[in-house]
Chain A
């Protein structure tokens, strides 16, 4: 190791070559499945391409984007999920984690139960939720009307469908809970003891000790939550498919977004354009939009990792 440190200025030193060898699978993957496709996506965004004919069309795809009503609906829906679902999941995950770390008896059992839904396959969980919230058959309606609340037709009503997806997101909050629990257990106990002696109550302790210590973890959860929600696809697609009762036998085409485009997310519209309507040039415009937004949040995340990669050298 001392040898490699001495020969650092030489890019072809043994250490660098050895690293290159170990990294080579990933470097090849990075070139083939990231750099090349990204450049290619920019190229295709100026073409009309339907798998058969390729025709340069200048800025036509980009102009079409401005007029594409469905794309803007999809952007609004995705934004709704980012603004409503992501913070709710973080708050709920933090609340559940707080609770579990304070339980003295049975904490392990509760952790298992609360984490379990996070593992349920997305398609299976979504199917279960659509049926669960389905008026007439599901128990949720019965419970709501028993306490005198109106029972909405969750996945059949454009005003409620995104809330249905939000409930599904809250149900599978287990991964966030585990991350928050680890962070909460890392907060030095003496800080709480000192605060208690100074007469700080629970809420004061939470805002002046817990929050500052776990702030990086909260930020991480929010930013990764936003990036994950920008690719929100499966739950919306499956919910719309099942709730609409669409019979997608050969010949008939499934249109995402049921009811009334209320669950149409941006990645779904991209998929629809590129791989169902084969407007691949236009799909690349949508892909670049998604890239730009996701990249902003990725850069925020990378700032958090700035210190990482340096330690232990």
Chain B
């Protein structure tokens, strides 16, 4: 056997090994999702057995969960929280990120370091006094304490937008200024269209952060089922409504569905956004 064919054979073996490993990993990553979907379609009696394939396909489970719990109300609350928080965040955070990326001013470095600090510190650190502020305004028991602060900027979004905005060459905004655009018009007319991928990424991250949020609603939504979100309802689904696993998994699937669907359409936005969060 020549040396060359040994090398060749080695690469083929390596290729096979890599793909075998990748397929095994893919099964492990997808397995839980497939299992949730299959259980969601089982009868409640089968869900208690270790049989994996549904004996009968109970599509009615998806209708039944809406009768067992106020799911529509929870979905509406979750949408209200996610949409408003995202809109408020964009309006307040874009100018801040722009100023941090582009303006020269005293304390610019300090401001950026403080943004990172507030982004990193656990929300539980300042939870008690903030809760007391909202209690004073009689807004505990609602989701407003989670929505309204977004009018004052979100550290993570500011950080991520700033990381993107510094990569836009200065020549573009300089050219706009030569054409007589003021700073604000330059931002709206020139920078924002160029920053569309980053804006899409922070909007999606914010939307799904709210959609998935459990800690915030647990703290503020209170005990009234009508002000709950989907995450909150889902966590209590099995215990409060004493339902079987099949229905719990059907509700679980319902909570995941929007995220997974949007991901398949906007995959690139997500991936590019995650890359921006890493330090270079």
Contacts and interface: CB of A to CB of B under 8 A. Distances in A.
A38 B270 contact: no
B19 A275 contact: no
Given A26-B158, A179-B274, A16 B256 contact: no
B212 A16 contact: no
Contacts of A33: 126, 130, 149, 152
B92 to A, nearest CB: 4
B125 A287 contact: yes
Interface string B202-240: 000000100110110011000100000001001110111
B72 interface: no
A32 B152 contact: yes
Interface in B13-57: 15, 18-19, 21-22, 25-26, 28-33, 35-36, 39, 47-50, 52
Secondary structure at chain B's binding surface: helix, strand, loop or mixed?
Answer: helix
A42 to B, nearest CB: 10
A270 B112 contact: no
Nearest to A100: B22
B50 A139 contact: yes
Contacts of A110: 22, 25-26
B239 A247 contact: yes
B223 to A, nearest CB: 7
Contact of A25 (B15, B131, B152): B152
A252 to B, nearest CB: 10
Contact of A231 (B104, B114, B122): B122
6 contacts: A33-B149, A128-B35, A248-B236, A271-B127, A274-B128, A297-B120
Interface of A: 1, 4-5, 8, 11, 15-16, 18-20, 22-23, 25-26, 28-30, 32-34, 36-38, 40-41, 44, 51, 96, 99-100, 102-106, 110-117, 119-125, 127-129, 131-132, 136-139, 141-142, 171, 175, 178-179, 182-183, 216-217, 220-221, 224, 227, 230-231, 233-234, 237-238, 241-242, 245-250, 267, 270-271, 274-275, 280, 283-284, 287-288, 290-291, 294-295, 297-298, 301-302, 304-305, 308-313
